[in-house]
Amino acid sequence: MIDQILTASVLASAIRLATPYIFAGLGETFGQRSGVLNLGVDGIMLMGAFAAFYTVFTTQSLLLGVLAALLVGLLLGLATAFVSVTLKAEQGISGIGFYLFGLGMSELLYQKLIGTPKSVTGFPPLAIPGLSDIEFLGIGQIFFRHNLLVYLAFALVPISAFILNRTTFGLKIRAVGQNPEAADAMGVNVARVRYMTVMLGGLMAGLAGASLSIALLNVFQQNLTSGLGFIAVALVYFGRWRPVGVLLGALLFSFVNALQLQASVIAPNIPSEFAVMAPYAITIIALVFASKQTEKPTALTKPFERGE
Amino acid sequence: QAQDAVFRVAAVAPSATNDLAFSQSMYDALLAIQKEMGEDQFQFVFQDGTFIVDDAAVALREWASSGEYDLVIAHGSQYGAILEELAPEFPDVSFAWGTDQNTFGLDNVYAYTAASNEGGFLNGAMAALMTKTGVIGVVGPIEVGDAKLYVDGFVAGAKAAKPDVTVNVTYIQSFSDVPLATEAAKTHIANGADILTGTAQMVVGAIAVAKEEGALWFGTQSSQAELAAEAGVQFQVYKWEVVLRDIIANIKAGKLGGEAYVITLANGGLVMEKGLR
Amino acid sequence: MRGIVKRFPGVLAVNHVDFDVQASEIHALLGENGAGKSTLMKMLYGLYHPDEGRIILDGNEVRIHSPHDAIQRGIGMIHQHFMLVPSLTVAENIALGMRSTRGLILDLDVVSRRVQELSEQYNLRVDPQTPIWQLAVGEQQRVEIIRALYRGASLLILDEPTAVLTPQEVDDLFRVLRQMTADGHALIFISHKLHEVLAISHRITVLRDGQKVGTIPTGEATRVKLAEMMVGRPVVLEYDRPPVERGPERLRLVSVSARSDRGDLGLKEVSLSVHAGEILGIAGVSGNGQRELAQVIAGLRPVTSGSIELDGRDVTGALPTTLIGLGLCYIPEERMVDGVIKEFTVAENFVLQDHGRANYTRAGIFLNFGAITRACRQAIRAYEIKTPGTDVPVKTLSGGNIQKLILARELTRSPQVIVAAQPTRGVDIGATEYIHRRLLEQRSQGAAILLISEDLDEIMALSDRIGVMYEGRMVGIIPRASADVNTVGAMMAGATLEQL
Amino acid sequence: MNFRPSAVTLVFFKTFANSLLNAWPLLLAIAAAAAAASLLLLALNANPIQAFSSMLQGAFGTTNATAETLVKAIPVLFVAIGICVAFRGGVVNIGGEGQMIAGAVAGVTAALTLGPIITFGPLLIALCLVCGFLAGALYGGLAGFLKAYFNVNEILSTIMLNQVAVQMMNFLLNGPLLDPAELGTNHIPKTARIVQWAELPRLSLSLGDNFELFTRTRLHFGLVLGIILAIVIYVLLWRTTIGYRIRAVGQNERASRYAGINVRRQIVLAMFLAGGIAGLAGVVQVLGLQYRLQTDGSPTGFTGNAGFNGIVAALFGGLNPLGAIPASVVFGGLLVGAQKMQRDLGVSAALITAINGLIVVFVVSSQYYIRQRARRRLAAPTSPAAAAAERPAAAAALEQQA
Ligand SMILES: Nc1ncnc2c1ncn2[C@@H]1O[C@H](COP(=O)(O)OP(=O)(O)OP(=O)(O)O)[C@@H](O)[C@H]1O
Ligand SMILES: Nc1ncnc2c1ncn2[C@@H]1O[C@H](COP(=O)(O)OP(=O)(O)OP(=O)(O)O)[C@@H](O)[C@H]1O
Ligand SMILES: [Mg+2]
Ligand SMILES: [Mg+2]
């Protein structure tokens, strides 16, 4: 039984599923660490997904596709930053607004520019020479036969951690998120830092979208993400605003999801409702047993303005 | 109803008119009718993407009370409850809804459904004969209605043609979750399936998987031949025009409802179309 | 600075003020709470922008747009409310906003080394690796100073830097400041403590209600004169403590220990007892367990061992509610965080503990705003609290007045036992004088008062007995009579009675 | 009780007056949103003027339109009221959807089981409401409990619990709660219809035979319940010790603990109430509108996004239950009007969604400036003239010193 459930392909599937959550989650982490909650991630992902898909659909160039997604993500990130940093809008609402915009706009463009479901040839699996042949525990299959974006997502985890903890920019991010007044008094331009993190978040969300439409699914349809971006935001809380935490959250969630899909094949008598609910329930339960103390950015969702 | 010669229809559907599935099947049918009768004879408005049941209620009520439409269609079994409340309030407006066979004993309500199990049976049988690995994967939305009918038919067909064939069925509990449906398809492949089928609009990703993995695809509701390309074998396509023609004729003859229709292979409401395969 | 004006909604914070400071000079800025000292300085540091007036730096007029701008121009500021990021380490706080020697990569090791050097050079002990939240206020103060030194500010503004320091720490600071002036730095020094100002400054400027009352050379200044300039009326600086005979024991701690936020034992087997009608003063360098002591008594921090008694009743580990019910009142150290809810109105804050009491409610659950407002108005009058009304958010009041409000709230509950932590920190003379009178009044009425303060003058002025804490232990408790600044000072440095 | 009727009207007046005085940023925002939307419409060669007029028509044009707008606003209002409690208590409750569903399931179960037994409508309805409230309250309270005692972030838990709730509903509607008449047939999973006397009455007032309002519309008694609830919760939050404690904890946990308030209990209580009120939204949808519970597998199919729209409405309403009333109505109008626009111009639903998004973004962007102007108005700055006049006084004081 267990060997039927815990096959290498299930683990490989977990890795695949985790990819968009990691991209979006890491991006959101930067924003939240600097004190900006971006609830519009899902909308940006959808726009990024479409941009990438349409570009590849018309030009067959995966590189251009990724660039298109990045560009769209960057622009929407800029808009988000402008609204929540400069206009100091209530971040909860504006995020939902951007989500709705992305949801509608991506479908609209899809209807006008493509019309009916089409598929593209996305990033092909890229077997890492040598490593991908490791038979032991199926390691090769689990880790080293994925497409480029999957590898990129996992590579971005340590990079993000490094940026946050080892660079001047990261230091500013942490300071701005914890005590903007102090950061401001030390000559850090709070607005500038937040613009950068939110735009970075947009960039990553766009990438997350691309990873769906031109790497994992290779199709586009309205609401392609179906709320995936909101889960990504939740996973940022799960990961306690640390890149590695986000990674663990994404892996746990995706692993359970892969498991339940496998279970539906080998144990058809489990009510599928419960199977589908499992990832959500287990993520909560996991957090109940996880370490207690959190270091939430104290300035999260609080716009900064001088006493003046 | 409307005094002029033009026959006017208003329809509401849960998903997009280009979903290659349920909503598109009705949209295409209305277009077909319009072609037959001509724009000057037949016009229709179509509100798609109305998965929020109450929004459909608003639309239906407005159309009914406007008195401008000869036929008001609620295309989605989730709309039945609304119609049951609404229709009695507008006895001289003709309604049609599906997929279901229940007219609520009202003589201004038509019901229509598809015997999608028939095409499912054919698809299943054919798939069973074609599979090399002896494993077939099915990706379904929620285990009800048209979807369940098709899937059950498919399984029955497969078993009938080849009793020892394995048919793995996964219901992902959503009509719209493309990523999950796609991963479900990949899971089937990983478990040895070399033939996939599925129903509802979220299967587009699964079709792409079939293509990439060199598996075969059987479809239903609308023709997915173009998307499935060389992976597509056979599609059960709904031709609601068959039902609509009768209903329109009845209404013109003054009969506003009270009948339930089933599209079948026999009456030409269901058509099996070949894929590029 | 010439003809500077700054308006805030409803307040004319700074009103046509001229102010200047020269190199190697210490220019003191005096004024009651809300006089406009901080605001004036924040304009010099680019945090606020003057509505009118000009700022001239090294002979040419400048516009200072942002702190970054000020920093670039060699202006540094140590803020009244520290500008440190609690979750970051000392080194990280100092590196913040500075250019790294490794470009984009942090160079914390370099920073740490430089910090070590500075802290030796000026003998300011700090560990670069500790996160700020683990530091006592006094230590945080040092971090602020080191950061200013690190940034090599040629003009340094110190906004009430001594408010949280002990005599020793103040002396250290003054040594540093003199050293800095010797190196040619120009310093602006804000304080409420006249003797400090007299001790350290070359010139003194006094503000009142946003206006400049005058500038005088320190040579010509006396405490009395300065006090009158600030308050606008003569003030009493020494008060007599009427003899009150010692009543029964009210509060007793028996070898109480508790953990600090750091997780180590911050309070080690402290025993003490306070009787009705007496003030037990607790002196000590900040961060030696005073905070933990106050919090365990108030029921806000769990006791790891030992026992606490109120009027002979064991209340170890009791909930704050219970203690409040038993007539314990606590004037918290961090008044803005613990003492009030900034966004709540004056009236709402006035009933923070008592909102459920019968006389403030109807039918058990409905707040009786009539009664609450009446009581609050009374307190405002009785305690001379300056506020536009009872229904304005507390955050619009000045620090001194917020403290008065807390005092009013606590004392009107006719407490049996009062724990007062730093009751006059950052409060101007007028208010300080007032608060001291009130505490003595309570003493005469038979309350048992535990006065925790890092202001030795305050301890000396009010206490009947004085306890000194060092590294979480009670070094000793001595009667006021046999206590002088030197003994207590020595004890604060860890010397036990035996050694003395 | 100490409820000054002035209080409510005062709040209304204040908010209203201020928003009028400071209307221009809002108007600007709406104009901007309209402009952006117009561009989209033009791009799809639809006539903007026509579009907006039909939007207005669809929202408030006819009695029925207004009724539908209000119908749409009812669940949004309920959720929004709950959100006010949660957010005021410092708990970010994103779980409106799940709590609504929990309430609806419990409510419909009660209606189906008790319906045949209790034939006295008002009592039956009351019981259903209570059941719905409790179910929602427990579901919301769970998130509160996890936050208070296990430090599980509520944003995460509520987002996840939404999904758990909908799967639960799917399971129940497919099994235990399935309409017996539907057994064997595999139609969309739905319960049987609730008994007549469990239905919330329709709201149609006819004063004499010449004046009648909302007759033959779907507007139901839920609206009245919602408005009453808004007032009750307003009083609870600002006029009772319970609300005082909830708000205190929401603003400053440390000060609350210092004041002897049991912080954890307040957090759970806030989520309990918030969830319960969201649960009521669910029951009211069933008893007042759908008369049965059915699922298309998605939460939205039943909730119509009220769980999320409620958050937006609450924040627009300044986290004040009374402010939530107009906010919800406007929001309802936006959604209903947009549908109408879709029908009249045949534009795609996607466009509507996008435009709604734009409106939300633009309007919320104006809020800050509106608040600013309001603040400035409240405190009239001292005039420089007066300041100048004071100067001699200070000078005189100086002479005295010298
Ligand atoms: N306006 C600003 N707000 C916040 N941080 C800033 C700002 N300008 C620069 N920084 C950062 O502060 C540190 C030192 O400032 P900066 O590099 O700007 O020195 P500078 O070159 O003297 O100043 P500037 O480039 O503005 O003339 C660097 O890490 C830089 O990234
Ligand atoms: N950001 C602000 N918004 C509105 N009013 C303010 C603001 N900052 C200060 N004020 C008001 O301006 C006046 C001067 O405040 P300021 O902080 O400069 O006084 P201060 O002399 O520093 O008092 P303290 O000795 O208590 O620090 C006070 O009335 C204060 O309430
Ligand atoms: Mg000050
Ligand atoms: Mg420079």
User: A251 falls in which pLDDT band (50, 70, 90)?
Assistant: very high
Q: Which among B17, B47, B50, B53 is the top mutation candidate for probing chain D, defined by the most D β-carbons within 10 Å of its own β-carbon?
A: B53
Nearest CA in chain D to B140: D297
- D3 — contact with chain C (CB < 8 Å)? yes
Statement: residue A292 has pLDDT above 70:
no
Q: Which residue has the higher pLDDT, C455 or D218?
A: D218
Neighbour tally for C127: CB within 10 Å: 15
**pLDDT at residue D1, rounded to an integer:** 34
Q: Which residue has the higher pLDDT, C165 or C366?
A: C366
Asked if C227 and C273 sit in the same domain, the reply is no
**Interchain proximity A226–B176, CB inside 8 Å:** yes
Statement: residue C281 has pLDDT above 50:
yes
**pLDDT at residue D313, rounded to an integer:** 87
Q: Which of A274-288, B79-93, D180-194 has the lowest mean pLDDT?
A: D180-194
**Interchain proximity C213–D397, CB inside 8 Å:** yes
Statement: residue C276 has pLDDT above 90:
yes
Asked if C223 and C258 sit in the same domain, the reply is no
Mean per-residue pLDDT for A131-152? 79
Question: Would C377 be classed as within a structural domain?
Answer: no
Residues of chain A numbered 124-183 and touching chain D (CB < 8 Å): none
Question: Would C184 be classed as within a structural domain?
Answer: yes
How many domains in chain C? 2
Q: Which of A192-201, B252-261, C389-398 has the lowest mean pLDDT?
A: C389-398
- D247 — contact with chain C (CB < 8 Å)? yes
Distance A86 CA to ligand 4 centre (A): 24
Of A88, A93, A222, the CB nearest to D312: A93
Q: Which residues of D touch B (CB under 8 A)?
A: 64, 68, 71-72, 167, 170, 174, 186-190, 193, 216, 218, 289-292, 294-298, 300-302, 304-305, 335-336, 339-340, 342-343, 346, 348-350
- For D63-178, strand residue ranges (E) read none
**Interchain proximity A262–B187, CB inside 8 Å:** yes
How many domains in chain D? 1
User: C180 falls in which pLDDT band (50, 70, 90)?
Assistant: confident
A chain contacts of residue C71, beta-carbon cutoff 8 Å:
186-187
**Which tokens go with D112?**
């189906």
Mean per-residue pLDDT for D126-132? 97
Mean per-residue pLDDT for D96-120? 94
Q: Which of A22-36, C298-312, D371-385 has the lowest mean pLDDT?
A: D371-385
Asked if C29 and C134 sit in the same domain, the reply is yes
**pLDDT at residue D183, rounded to an integer:** 65
Asked if C119 and C267 sit in the same domain, the reply is no
Statement: residue A290 has pLDDT above 90:
no
What CATH number does residue D148 fall under? Answer: 1.10.3470
**pLDDT at residue A253, rounded to an integer:** 93
Question: Would D209 be classed as within a structural domain?
Answer: yes
Considering C200, C231, C262, which residue would you say is the last residue of a domain?
A: C231
CA distances from B166 to A52, B181, D12, D201 (A): 38, 20, 67, 54
Q: How far apart are the first and last CA of chain A?
A: 67
Mean per-residue pLDDT for C174-201? 89
**pLDDT at residue A83, rounded to an integer:** 94
Choice from C6, C7, C8 to test ligand 2 binding pocket (greatest atom count within 8 A of CB) = C8
The protein residue with its alpha carbon nearest to ligand 1, atom 27, reads C72
Place of tokens 């609401």: A223
**Interchain proximity B85–D291, CB inside 8 Å:** yes
* Whole-number Å distance between alpha carbons of D289 and D292: 9
Residues of chain D numbered 373-392 and touching chain C (CB < 8 Å): 375-376, 378-382, 384, 386-388, 390-391
**pLDDT at residue D384, rounded to an integer:** 35
The protein residue with its alpha carbon nearest to ligand 2, atom 30, reads C34
Asked if C318 and C188 sit in the same domain, the reply is no
**pLDDT at residue D287, rounded to an integer:** 95
Choice from A188, A192, A306 to test ligand 1 binding pocket (greatest atom count within 8 A of CB) = A188
Statement: residue D73 has pLDDT above 90:
yes
Q: Which of B191-205, D8-22, D98-112, D327-341 has the lowest mean pLDDT?
A: D8-22
* Whole-number Å distance between alpha carbons of D291 and D146: 34
**pLDDT at residue D20, rounded to an integer:** 53
Which residues contact ligand 1 via a Cβ below 6 A?
A: A 168, 187-189, 192; C 68, 72, 97-99
* Whole-number Å distance between alpha carbons of C231 and C228: 5
Is 1.10.645.10 the CATH number for A2-118+140-293? no
Residues of chain B numbered 86-115 and touching chain D (CB < 8 Å): 89, 100
**Interchain proximity A178–C48, CB inside 8 Å:** no
Q: Do chains D and A touch (3 or more CB pairs under 8 A)?
A: yes
**pLDDT at residue D10, rounded to an integer:** 53
Place of tokens 């497969």: B158
Residue C430, ligand 2, Cβ within 6 A: no
List, for residues D331-378, the tens digit of each pLDDT value: 899 889 988 988 888 888 788 789 888 888 988 888 777 777 666 655
Q: Which ligand does the CA of A193 lie closest to?
A: 1
Q: Which residue has the higher pLDDT, C372 or C492?
A: C372
Residue D239 near residue D3 (C-beta atoms within 8 A): yes
Choice from C5, C7, C39, C82 to test ligand 2 binding pocket (greatest atom count within 8 A of CB) = C39
**pLDDT at residue A131, rounded to an integer:** 73
Domain residue spans of chain A: 2-118+140-293
Question: Would D331 be classed as within a structural domain?
Answer: yes
Q: Which atom of ligand 2 is nearest to the CA of C399?
A: 26
Nearest CA in chain A to C49: A308
Question: Would D13 be classed as within a structural domain?
Answer: no
Distance A192 CA to ligand 3 centre (A): 28
Mean per-residue pLDDT for B71-98? 92
B chain contacts of residue D305, beta-carbon cutoff 8 Å:
52
Residue D274 near residue D81 (C-beta atoms within 8 A): no
Statement: residue D315 has pLDDT above 60:
yes
What CATH number does residue C280 fall under? Answer: 3.40.50.300
Q: Chain-wide mean pLDDT for chain A?
A: 90
User: C209 falls in which pLDDT band (50, 70, 90)?
Assistant: confident
**pLDDT at residue D385, rounded to an integer:** 35
Residue C81, ligand 2, Cβ within 6 A: no
List, for residues A163-213, the tens digit of each pLDDT value: 999 999 999 999 999 999 999 999 999 999 999 999 999 999 999 999 999
**Interchain proximity A111–D348, CB inside 8 Å:** yes
**pLDDT at residue D386, rounded to an integer:** 35
**pLDDT at residue A26, rounded to an integer:** 97
The minimum CA-CA distance between A288 and chain B, rounded to whole Å, is 26
Residues of chain B numbered 19-78 and touching chain A (CB < 8 Å): 19-20, 49
User: C124 falls in which pLDDT band (50, 70, 90)?
Assistant: confident
Residue C130: domain span: 2-231
Q: Which atom of ligand 2 is nearest to the CA of A306?
A: 1
Residue D218: domain span: 65-350
Question: Would C122 be classed as within a structural domain?
Answer: yes
**Interchain proximity C88–A169, CB inside 8 Å:** no
Asked if C227 and C253 sit in the same domain, the reply is no
C chain contacts of residue D264, beta-carbon cutoff 8 Å:
none
Question: Would C396 be classed as within a structural domain?
Answer: no
Mean per-residue pLDDT for C387-391? 88
**pLDDT at residue C424, rounded to an integer:** 87
Mean per-residue pLDDT for A55-70? 96
**Which tokens go with D265?**
């209990």
Q: Which of A50-64, C298-312, C421-435, D374-388 has the lowest mean pLDDT?
A: D374-388
Asked if C227 and C274 sit in the same domain, the reply is no
DSSP class of residue D199 equals: S
Beta bridge partners of C465: C280, C479
Asked if C161 and C296 sit in the same domain, the reply is no
Q: Chain-wide mean pLDDT for chain D?
A: 84
Distance C61 CA to ligand 4 centre (A): 18
List, for residues B38-82, the tens digit of each pLDDT value: 998 999 999 988 888 888 999 999 999 888 999 999 999 889 888
Residue A175 near residue A183 (C-beta atoms within 8 A): yes
Asked if C181 and C297 sit in the same domain, the reply is no
Distance A188 CA to ligand 1 centre (A): 7
**pLDDT at residue D395, rounded to an integer:** 36
**pLDDT at residue D21, rounded to an integer:** 55
**Interchain proximity D258–C298, CB inside 8 Å:** yes
D chain contacts of residue A231, beta-carbon cutoff 8 Å:
159
Distance A160 CA to ligand 1 centre (A): 22
List, for residues C439-470, the tens digit of each pLDDT value: 999 999 999 999 999 878 889 889 999 999 98
**pLDDT at residue C8, rounded to an integer:** 82
User: C397 falls in which pLDDT band (50, 70, 90)?
Assistant: confident
**Interchain proximity A174–C88, CB inside 8 Å:** yes
**pLDDT at residue A307, rounded to an integer:** 65
Q: Which residue has the higher pLDDT, B194 or A10?
A: B194
**pLDDT at residue D398, rounded to an integer:** 36
Statement: residue D380 has pLDDT above 70:
no
Interface pTM (ipTM) of the complex? 0.85
- A277 — contact with chain D (CB < 8 Å)? yes
Beta bridge partners of B271: B237
Asked if C258 and C227 sit in the same domain, the reply is no
D chain contacts of residue A294, beta-carbon cutoff 8 Å:
151, 153
**pLDDT at residue A220, rounded to an integer:** 94
Statement: residue B35 has pLDDT above 90:
yes
